[in-house]
Amino acid sequence: LLKITGVDKLNVERKNVRSLFEPFGEIGFIDYPLGQGNDADQSQGIIRFKSPESTEKIMEAYKKDTNAFLLGEVKEPVNLEILKGDAEDGYFRVIVETRYKRFKGKRKFGGRKYGGKNK
């Protein structure tokens, strides 16, 4: 997992994030803005790559030239951090909790046994 912070939230979309980081490896998912809620911090996000080596390649390139990692109209480069251990577990825990809250109570049973439309 690669955490990006310091993103120009007014001028950056997922496609901009994808075009900057895709040359380093195949992207599985871009979680930007983080959490997708109204109160989400839109100046940061998480990129999930299909291969963990991709994050290592990015960090090597980032250490060589941080100015190559500009998104939007901001003059400052974004900040990058590889999430490992507890931080990575915490991120996935938030995803599971968010999914649970989103789909809780949306289950509807149909069919004769549960009193659905097909009585």
| 26-72 tens-digit pLDDT | 999 988 764 444 445 667 888 999 988 999 999 999 999 988 888 87
pLDDT score, position 80 = 92
What is the share, in percent, of the chain residues with pLDDT greater than 90? Answer: 24
More confident call, 32 vs 83: 83
CB burial class (10 A; 0-12, 13-18, 19+) of residue 107?
exposed
CA–CA gap between residue 119 and residue 117 (Å, rounded) = 6
CA–CA gap between residue 51 and residue 93 (Å, rounded) = 21
Tokens of 24: 């380093």
